[in-house]
Amino acid sequence: MSEPPVVVVVGGWASPFVTRVCIALKLKGVEYEFLQEAVGKKSELLLRSNPVYKKMPVILHGGLPVCESLVILQYVDEAFPVPSILPPDPYRRAVHRFWAEYADAKLHTGLRTMRGMVGGDKADAAEQVSAALRQLEEALAECSGGKPYFGGDDVGFLDIVVGSYIGWFGAAERIAELPVLDEATPRLAAWASRFCAYEAVRDLMPDADRLVEFGEVLRAALAAAAANASSWP
């Protein structure tokens, strides 16, 4: 009998938070088993592994759960140290962590609003996302030092975090009919093309059209769940 996998990823293919974990593991050359969560549901394994937030992704490394995508990325970098995805210099590591937190804080909700997953004005959300990307355009110039990636010559931690949203940039543009990456962020647009073509990334980056279809399925599943909940006395 074959040995069970040392690393298991619990999540959904469409989630940017799950995508970034898979990219990091592939970049490290770590083989893993992917357990796909059903749309609109949470498995017993997920709930047991992340009882506080009850969210994906979760990785199980030797049976031990690690939760929250940014925490997972840093854990993966320490557990599988070659190649490193965080800069060796403590200050640069702090800067990259700062911009990673910024990207998640500014992009996630704005993109969800543009997709109609949460309430709010789509045009306002598009402007908030564009403003955040203009800031990240400047961060790319600062962090890369004129090299191809946030990480310099190679893809690193911050590339993985920001890059995990690229598929949803295109999906949000199609759904909201509003631009995301545009002429105000030429450096970031060129970086996005390089990132998606990168060997460890290209097979894991979700296609925008497929994400649009997924969004419709998810909205229907959530609406059905809400209707079933409201039917109880």
Is residue 232 over pLDDT 60? Answer: no
With left for phi above 0 and alpha for psi between -120 and 50, is residue 154 left, alpha or beta?
beta
**Highest mean pLDDT, choosing among 73-77, 113-117, 120-124, 226-230:** 73-77
Going by pLDDT thresholds of 50, 70 and 90, the confidence category of residue 219 is confident
Domain 90-210, what architecture? Up-down Bundle (1.20)
Determine the angle formed by the axes of helices 16-28 and 166-176, rounding to 10 degrees: 150
**Residue range 19-66, pLDDT digits in tens:** 999 999 999 999 999 999 998 889 999 999 999 999 999 999 999 999
State what percent of residues in the chain have pLDDT above 90.
Answer: 81
**Residue range 93-116, pLDDT digits in tens:** 999 999 999 999 999 999 999 988
What stretch(es) of the chain map to CATH 3.40.30.10?
A: 7-79
Decide if 222 contacts 179 (C-beta within 8 A): no
Q: What is the pLDDT of residue 151?
A: 97
The widest CA-to-CA distance across the chain, in whole angstroms, is: 62
Q: CA-CA distances (angstroms) from residue 134 to 99, 196, 224, 226?
A: 12, 20, 38, 37
Give CA–CA dist 38/122, Å, rounded.
28
What stretch(es) of the chain map to CATH 1.20.1050.10?
A: 90-210
**Residue range 161-189, pLDDT digits in tens:** 999 999 999 999 998 898 898 888 999 99
Going by pLDDT thresholds of 50, 70 and 90, the confidence category of residue 156 is very high
Instruction: Please tell me the CATH code under which domain 7-79 is placed.
Output: 3.40.30.10
Q: What is the mean pLDDT of the chain?
A: 92
Is residue 131 over pLDDT 80? Answer: yes
**Residue range 195-207, pLDDT digits in tens:** 999 999 999 999 9
This prediction has a pTM of 0.92
Residues 6+ apart with CB under 8 A from 95: 142, 143
Is residue 229 over pLDDT 70? Answer: no
